[in-house]
Amino acid sequence: MICPACHECSKLSERQGWGRWTSNLSRHDLQGKSLKGKMTFEAVRKFFERDRFAQFVGLELVDASPGRALVRLAVRDHHRNGVGLVHGAVLFTLADFAFAVASNSHGRTALGINVSMAYHQAARDGHLLAEAMEIHRNDTLATYRVDIRDDAGSLIATFLGTAYRKREPRPGSAEL
């Protein structure tokens, strides 16, 4: 199941066989609680509430756990380019936000230092879902892959990002 909290995504998961989302930190189970010092979904959500650009674009943080994030966007008219397709900058913003959530979910500030994105096909209507997954992490660097899919489960774009991890824990959070 992709999203333990969203019926639409659950249906999509069953229909397309997307079994990759394996978060064990559901927002329903951990609402505001800490699990052995780990950042909960609620703590991550509160931290990213301050991202005004993500709010402006209409990004919705669906779920997060250490090293992972699931972000959804409902496509609106203002997300379209001159030919009526979802603008590439909107796709990049969606992927970059999922990358930011996943890389900052360990309790230390992580800053993107290198990214690349491949656009596989055009996005048109409905919802887009970005799933960020940690590929590698050490004390100073971490690498993440973000896949963006449409309602049909088609792969729209792939984002690869590397983050520099500051040494000190972010105030009010425990390092994972």
Into how many domains does the chain fold?
1
pLDDT digits (tens, 9 = 90+) for 32-53: 433 343 567 777 777 788 889 9
Q: What does the pLDDT look like over 62-71, one tens digit per residue?
A: 999 999 999 9
Say if 73 falls within a structural domain.
yes
Paired with 35 in beta bridges are 38
Task: For helices 41-48 and 88-103, give the axis angle rounded to 10 degrees.
Answer: 130
Which residue range forms the structural domain that includes residue 156? 7-169
Q: Quick one: average pLDDT of 87-102?
A: 98
pLDDT single digits (tens) 72-85: 999 999 999 999 99
Identify the CATH number of the domain in which residue 165 sits: 3.10.129.10
What confidence score (pLDDT) does residue 96 get?
Answer: 98
CA distance 171 to 122: 40
Q: What is the pLDDT of residue 171?
A: 66
Q: Note whether residue 176 is domain-resident.
A: no
Q: Is residue 165 in a domain?
A: yes
CA of residue 142 relative to chain centroid, distance: 15
